[in-house]
Structure 1
């Protein structure tokens, strides 16, 4: 049985299904044919405690005998090692998710307050809250300009 491996998708693709994958535009461009013995070892007979990895020297699938410690770790062929570039990417993704969450909270708070102002129904407390939330939202848009971003972030407090 011929099987292909895609490094980008970390997945195996049987040659018997290739026509179907290609017809649907799903055949990975980086698919490489692997030996049946390798496929059996890393896919079919893999112990549960082992992790599927890519051997950095061959680009072929391999097994690590321990789980990946974090998204910032890469397999070097013998052990997991922290990658500064991967760590920075991981931190940036986390900070961007938190920034999106805080902006959504500010937007949700601002919308009904703006409605009250537009309808001439806003109280003094609502006007003050609107100003505070808008200030917070402006400061959130400036977070990416902070020195040290994304590794160090000084989050503006929510009102």
Structure 2
């Protein structure tokens, strides 16, 4: 039984149609998958406001270290991060939220009540209560975080 030219044309057309349909289906399914896998890596979420405490918990002119825990999205992974900040309430009621990281060598600073200054043990750097450089190798003040007060509660936005 010999095949005619008409049957071969149909067969070729059907073969081509099936391959094209498979290609279109593959593209149609791969684009959303690609977007789902790649887009989160480039998504930037604005840092949330994190509650630090009620303003009555902080004494004027006595910096208080507060350790904060918050959720941090890193691409597809959500992690619990922790950081420490110093809350400084001045005598006139103004609030500053300062980083506890030295701007010179990224060491943790601590408040020394006897010297009325933040001390960096790495290279004997000192910062004033407002975060400005007092002495030592640091060339710029402690980083200050944006903050707000709502209903007596202090909130801070950390750069993540």
TM bin, normalised by shorter chain, reads under 0.3
- Greater share of helix: 1
TM-score normalised over the length of structure 2: 0.21
Structure (1/2) with the larger strand percentage? 2
Higher relative contact order (CA 8 A, sep 6+): 2
